[in-house]
Copies of this chain bind each other. A is one copy, B any other.
């Protein structure tokens, strides 16, 4: 049985990772999507092992210590991370696994899992990215400027990735990602 491949989809804040990720889940239901671990409390309807692996702070810190996280970060007092175990088990079953993650996290995954295939979602243009960041809501100009400057910094990390996929239209972006999956499975020297 051929081993599965790990695909990591990332890109700057505002590029539409979540939207593309959801569209891929619909179009490619045969692919497994990574489930993150978190220390935050489950919300109504969230299931352990489906939406997240819910962990206590002690459990999470233990996983970090035993190098069981491909990457992790702390946001507003809660830990979020990618358990290596779930990824390894899926790959060992010969199934591909998808990780949808922000740019810094993706680069940490690359350190621990260099054989992964790293896909960077690009906005059609920086102006378009600005519109998307601005369009999110009622942020102040300072917040928008800050997010834009972070996004431009993130764009500079493109060179660490294998593929760049322009997210001009969801369907086109999905088709490109699907093509990358098929092509990677045809590689003679993976």
A163 touches B182 (CB 8 A): no
Most chain B CB neighbours (cut-off 10 Å) among A158, A165, A181, A182: A182
A180 touches B186 (CB 8 A): yes
Is A54 an interface position by the 8 A CB rule?
no
A162 touches B179 (CB 8 A): no
B176 touches A162 (CB 8 A): no
How big is the A interface, by class?
A: 20 to 34
Q: List 12 A-B contacts (CB under 8 A).
A: A119-B186, A159-B188, A162-B188, A163-B186, A163-B188, A164-B188, A178-B179, A179-B182, A179-B183, A180-B182, A180-B183, A183-B183
> A179 — which chain B residues lie within 8 A by C-beta?
178-183, 186
Closest partner residue, chain B, to A183 (CB atom):
B183
**A167 CB to nearest B CB, Å:** 12
Closest partner residue, chain B, to A163 (CB atom):
B186
What DSSP secondary structure best describes chain A's contact surface?
A: helix
Determine the distance from Cα of A162 to Cα of B183 in the docked complex, in whole angstroms.
Answer: 10
> A176 — which chain B residues lie within 8 A by C-beta?
182-183, 186
Determine the distance from Cα of A84 to Cα of B186 in the docked complex, in whole angstroms.
Answer: 28
> A169 — which chain B residues lie within 8 A by C-beta?
none
Determine the distance from Cα of A180 to Cα of B183 in the docked complex, in whole angstroms.
Answer: 5
Within 8 A of B (CB), among A117-172: 119-120, 158-159, 161-165
**A53 CB to nearest B CB, Å:** 32
Closest partner residue, chain B, to A119 (CB atom):
B186
Determine the distance from Cα of A120 to Cα of B188 in the docked complex, in whole angstroms.
Answer: 9
Is A115 an interface position by the 8 A CB rule?
no
